[in-house]
Amino acid sequence: MDLQTLSDHFAIPGVLTFSQNENGLLRASITTPSCTAELYLQGAHLTHWQPAGQQPVLFLSERSPFTPGKAIRGGIPLIFPWFGGRTATPENQRTDGPSHGFARTSDWTLAFAALTGDDLHLTLTLSPNDTTRALGYDHFQLVYQLTLGAELRLQLTVANQATTPLSFEEAFHTYLSVGDAQQISITGLSDTDYLDKTDEFKLKHQTDTLLKLTRETDRPYLNTVATLNLDDPILNRRITVCKANSKSTVIWNPWSELTAKLSDMDPNGWLTMTCIETANLGPNAITLAPGQQHAMEAHIFAQTFAPNFTPK
């Protein structure tokens, strides 16, 4: 899909336009009465979403390379078919392939675009290609639907087109923009088990109602369908993340020491981001029988507080 084809078939004057960056990546620029947004076709990667009258909800690293085949740091990367490094399973002993799978660096196809009221609806698809086949994935279909407006709705549908079961992990690796990661609080994860990736993947249990970050945090929470609220006293807002057909939630902030090792993030980038990831991973991974499909959903919205209001 090239720039001219995108413009001819999907452009909406004053709402949806397409361009190409200096490295050749195709992107969509979105302006509706209720939001502005930007999406790259590589990875079907939403890099910007800003409801009208609010500050941007998504964090985007200024150092991200935006080059073909390289993952974009920030926004909402799509993780499929494995989370983190590929690990061997009883069904498949292979451990090769890029971190977080191939979906976030693959070229997706835009299949639908329409403005309904103040919301823009987009549908993108990913089918098997030479890269996925080389990794052993030849019979799947991904359909990604986004509704962009005052609120953000995401749905990733995975279809198994093989004659054998398809097992996979998946995530919306959502980077949220915050005023100061040291001052935010997250609710919705009390009485929940998690794997502490900063402590040899030990299984731990959160009892506290509030989660406040004080150091590098990398926690896949398991068997949870809860809605999360991130309260930000610096930006005077609450970001809410609801989900469906997702049993894992990941909280991640690299903090200062790890950020210093990331070439695609400013050394102080950790201060202004925190990830709340809607996912199915580890013991919550999905297995589809032949012909089955699975749709994971996330719903994100932000509420601005009055100045000096302290959320509880």
Judge whether 309 lies within some domain. no
- Asked if 163 and 289 touch (Cβ cutoff 8 Å), the reply is no
Report the pLDDT value the prediction gives residue 250, as an integer from 0 to 100.
98
- Residues 6 or more apart whose Cβ sits within 8 Å of residue 22: none
301: left (phi over 0), alpha (psi -120 to 50) or beta: beta
- What is the SS3 assignment for 5? helix
Judge whether 310 lies within some domain. no
**Model's pTM, two decimal places?**
0.96
Q: Indicate if the pLDDT at residue 89 is higher than 90.
A: no
Judge whether 39 lies within some domain. yes
Number of domains in the chain: 1
Report the pLDDT value the prediction gives residue 308, as an integer from 0 to 100.
59
Q: How buried is 312 (Cβ within 10 angstroms: 0-12 exposed, 13-18 middle, 19+ buried)?
A: exposed
Q: Indicate if the pLDDT at residue 310 is higher than 70.
A: no
Following CA atoms 25, 31, 34, 40 in sequence, which dihedral angle do they give, to the nearest 10 degrees? Answer: -10
**Is 200 among the catalytic positions?**
no
pLDDT band at 88 (very low <50, low <70, confident <90, very high): confident
DSSP state, residue 74: B
* pLDDT tens column, 279-293: 999 999 999 999 999
Judge whether 146 lies within some domain. yes
Judge whether 311 lies within some domain. no
Residue 57 sits in which domain range?
A: 3-304
Report the pLDDT value the prediction gives residue 2, as an integer from 0 to 100.
94
Name residue 94's amino acid.
Answer: R
Closest CA to 214 of 265, 256, 179: 256
* pLDDT tens column, 261-279: 999 999 999 999 999 999 9
DSSP state, residue 265: S
Cα separations in angstroms, 222 against 38, 97, 288: 31, 25, 20
Report the pLDDT value the prediction gives residue 90, as an integer from 0 to 100.
77
Report the pLDDT value the prediction gives residue 28, as an integer from 0 to 100.
98
Residues in the chain: 312
Sign of CA dihedral 85, 69, 176, 301: negative
Q: Which of 9, 151, 173, 299 is catalytic?
A: 173
Judge whether 126 lies within some domain. yes
Q: Which of 38, 277, 297, 299 is catalytic?
A: 277
Write the CATH number for 216.
2.70.98.10
Judge whether 143 lies within some domain. yes
pLDDT band at 311 (very low <50, low <70, confident <90, very high): low
Closest CA to 172 of 132, 145, 195, 141: 145
Q: Which helix (H) or strand (E) holds 132?
A: helix 130-134
Judge whether 57 lies within some domain. yes
**Is 121 among the catalytic positions?**
no
More confident residue, 88 or 300: 300
Report the pLDDT value the prediction gives residue 1, as an integer from 0 to 100.
84
- Asked if 76 and 46 touch (Cβ cutoff 8 Å), the reply is yes
CA–CA separation, 175 and 183 (whole Å): 17
CA atoms lying within 13 Å on the CB side of residue 134:
8
By DSSP bridging, strand 228-232 and strand 237-244 are antiparallel
Report the pLDDT value the prediction gives residue 134, as an integer from 0 to 100.
96
